[in-house]
Chains A and B, each alone.
Chain A
Amino acid sequence: MMDEDFSQYPLELTGDDIPMVRFSRVSKRYGALTVLDNLDLDVAAGEMITIIGPSGSGKTTVLRMLMTLETINEGVIYVDGKPLTHMEKCGKLVRADRRYLRQMRAQIGMCFQHFNLFPHMTALENCMEGPVQVLGMKKAAARARSEELLELVGMADKRDQHPARLSGGQQQRVAIARALAMRPKVMLFDEVTSALDPEVIGEVTTVIRNLVDKHNLTMLMVTHQMGFAKDISDRVCFFFDGKIEEQNSPEELFSNPQKERTQQFLSAVKEAG
């Protein structure tokens, strides 16, 4: 690879109003296909942002890049003022190495569409795994923290069950507790209700709603639940073709969309029920 020039990007963000997350001219391509095109997006500390849009619009890729599950082709992502995807070397930004990524990604937690709980561990062991193995916590302390979080998501009574014994909604709640056990600054929810039966969606959205109300987490959520997005978001971004087509407060965006594509998307979603 050629020596890439990132000199246009600051080594770190300074000033009074440092966003918790900043995407700075970020692009992602798979071969000829551009998934994200020159994305600029700031998320303030404590803000809840929802990303909506048709499939293939790059929504999930935004979260996956932030979780460092995908590399990026251009641009820089900053978390809490420091670059995530890049690091400083001799006064210049270069692509982050594994070690730097491990250090930086500790600030971010993620929940997945298909939960991805570890099937060979109980709910409690799933939650304790990170604190014990990554943060180096004592087992007793990790257990206390995990039990508290399972309580928070209403899964304390199922702590000794393996995921195979839990419903989708229950698994997702354990997955949320597991992510929270790492005490991330930023939480990512990637279509966390999409794989659930309709009757259990509520138990997961209630948990997320609680988090928004009672905890000062920064959150990014990709969802198809428009009602839920409207209720709990501080801001909604409508993605189309790898770009933010429109973003606004949920009230504005849902009741008074400005762009034609947003209107089309929202009415299509409404028709589908």
Chain B
Amino acid sequence: MPFNWNWAFTWEILPKLLHAALNTLLAAGLGYAIAVVLGLILALAQRTPSRAVTFVIREFVEFIRSTPLILQIFFVYYVGPQFGLRLGPWTAGMIAIGLHYSAYLSEVYRGGLQAVPKGQWEACTALNLSPAKTYWRIIIPQAIPSALAGMGNYLVGIFKDTPMLSVIGVAELMHTANAIGSSSYRYLEPYTLVGIIFLAISLPTAALIRIFEGYVRRKLGLK
């Protein structure tokens, strides 16, 4: 079959796809916001003196990391109702992807927290700072810069994983491209455009993250 690219069709579907790209960005943003907060909680919970808590959280993180995201999305959406958890595709999708990435981000935070020298903790004890203030004011601000590179990777990662949400009907980019394809029988243009849109967002984001990392380090006086 000869290569035939239809420009008229391309311009016709582009607005639709760009609109869907907003949903993709929204899904990535919301999912990431959940993951950033929940990941920190998971990381901190693994540092509590209670061994039982640490063990449970550790196993939970390992479980999430060892099973496919797509399974987790299906599980929340299709199995959830059996436990009385009836969620729309957006809510189910955000929970699944947020939870999934929180497990990865908790590992990033954990590394960042461990990288803070022991002397910082001792200085906090010597100044008699409370444990909460020790974390929020001293340890976490120093853990963030070294965690930023990993956090950035997963921001791009979560963005690239949003197409999986199409399987439960979240109208993001992939879902829209599929719909266009199945109604017009043309797949070349929509899928190519999806690839270009992803690239056009991922590449600058990765660069921005590196700039932001340097900015944060300077701002915190670490450079």
Residue ranges of A at the interface with B (Cβ–Cβ < 8 Å): 67-69, 102, 105-106, 108-110, 112, 114, 116-122, 129-130, 133-134, 162-165, 178-179, 182
Contacts and interface: CB of A to CB of B under 8 A. Distances in A.
B17 to A, nearest CB: 43
Interface string B185-223: 000000000000000000000000000000000001111
A165 B223 CA distance: 9
What is the predominant secondary structure among interface residues of chain A facing chain B?
A: loop
Interface stretch (B20-28, B97-105, B118-126, B162-170): B118-126
A179 to B, nearest CB: 7
B127 interface: yes
A110 B128 contact: no
Nearest to B131: A98
B150 interface: no
Interface string B4-28: 0000000000000000000000000
Contacts of B117: 116
Interface stretch (B32-40, B71-79, B135-143, B152-160): B135-143
Nearest to A122: B221
A91 B18 CA distance: 75
A130 B130 CA distance: 10
Given A69-B122, A129-B127, A133-B133, 16 more contacts: A68-B125, A105-B126, A106-B128, A108-B126, A112-B122, A118-B142, A119-B220, A120-B141, A120-B220, A129-B129, A133-B130, A134-B133, A162-B221, A165-B221, A179-B127, A182-B127
A69 B138 CA distance: 17
Given A106-B128, A182-B128, A116 B221 contact: no
Contacts of A119: 142, 220-222
Contacts of A117: 123
A106 B120 CA distance: 18
A112 B119 contact: yes
A133 B136 CA distance: 12
Most chain A CB atoms below 10 A, which of B123, B127, B221, B222: B127
Nearest to A104: B128
Contacts of B129: 129-130, 133-134
B219 to A, nearest CB: 8
A132 B117 CA distance: 24
A117 B122 CA distance: 10
Nearest to B126: A110
7 contacts: A69-B126, A116-B122, A116-B123, A133-B129, A134-B130, A165-B221, A179-B126
A134 B126 CA distance: 11
A206 B141 CA distance: 33
Contacts of A110: 126
Nearest to B116: A119
A122 to B, nearest CB: 7
Contacts of B220: 119-120
A116 B119 CA distance: 5
Residue among A120, A129, A130 with the highest chain B CB neighbour number at 10 A: A120
A129 B137 contact: yes
A134 B127 contact: yes
